[in-house]
Amino acid sequence: MATQLEIISNSLALLGRAPITTLSDPDEITTAAIQAYNLLLPGVVSRNNWRFATRIDEIYKFQKTFTVVVGTVGTATGLNIEENQIRRVQLKTTGTLPSVSGTALQPGANYYAVRNTDDDDFRLYYSRDDAYNGVNVITYTDTGTGTHTIYKFANEESRWKAIYPLPSDFLKLIRVWPQTYQFEMYNEYTGLSDDEKTYAAYYYSPAEENYFTLEYTFLPAVDVFPIRFTEYFVYEIACYLALSNAQRPDFFGALEQKRQQAFAMAAASEAQNRPNFSQASFPVLDGRNVTLQYLPTSLD
């Protein structure tokens, strides 16, 4: 399969430039071609539902491992609750959740978390009013057993009841299962640490599913590009650079026509990735008396 070097070299050749053998120490036109490659590729991949750039994965409700110490503080690294922000949460465990005055916290019950000054530490409250007023903070008498998990939800007054982080390589949604119209996708950067900013897009849904199966577009490695897509992308870069770098002004029109043809051929080739089905029997036609051989010889 082609490499980035070969794609850029062929794009430059379409503009009347000499082929290149390395991307190191590029001249001005090669630098422009490299930048065009990086700029255009995500959009070009997202322009069509290419099979080679489609991935199927499961997305789960936002969750983090939750630990406590005896006292009032719980810890969940990366929970990303803003300081003084109140967030509805639920807990589950592989063992027993920490006890509060002799009564264990309940899996699936609503609690309200408020972050402390430390990014990872927060306090839990029984109600939103308690959290808002900073009273009746939950105090743990033990740490519980097993591994605890905390889920971050939208609050009750919000129409969104659950949050599902998208895959870090997500570019475009194709379809989701179970099918639902009750979702939206947003970008939420506030409160994310540097190592989590690739998960900045969130999938919100009022549904109660613990996870969804997501079919989405991602950016694959260049060595898996199908040959028809590679041919098309060569023309995409050449057209992008043609108006400013071609030796003749009519280059763009000729290249644009070829680009459109290459895209159509690449898309048609992708559409053939499902096995062909040959219908050997035609029950409707087979059941009809199309030869008239069974009609009576006389109408008397």
Give the model confidence (pLDDT) of 221-242 as tens digits: 999 999 999 999 999 999 999 9
Tens-place pLDDT, residues 138-181: 888 888 888 888 887 766 666 676 778 888 788 899 998 888 77
Which residues share a beta bridge with 60?
211
Q: How far apart are CA 126 and CA 139, in angstroms?
A: 11
Q: What is the pLDDT averaged over residues 72-96?
A: 78
Mean pLDDT confidence for 105-133: 84
Q: Where are the domains of the chain?
A: 1-59+162-272, 62-152
Average pLDDT over residues 261-265: 93
Lookup: tokens for 179: 């099918």
| First-to-final CA distance of the chain | 75
What residues does 71 pair with on adjacent strands? 140
For residues 274 and 33, what is the distance between their CA atoms, to the nearest angstrom? 34
Query: Tokens in use for 53?
Result: 């750039």
Stretch 182-189: mean pLDDT: 71
Q: List the 172-177 sheet strands across, edge first.
A: 54-60, 211-217, 172-177
Residue 78 DSSP symbol:
T
Confidence label for 265 from pLDDT (cuts 50, 70 and 90): very high
pLDDT digits (tens, 9 = 90+) for 24-63: 989 999 999 999 999 999 999 999 999 999 999 988 777 7
In terms of pTM, does the model score above 0.75?
no
Q: What is the pLDDT of residue 131?
A: 87
Q: How far apart are CA 10 and CA 33, in angstroms?
A: 10
More confident residue, 60 or 80: 60
Decide if 98 contacts 104 (C-beta within 8 A). Answer: yes
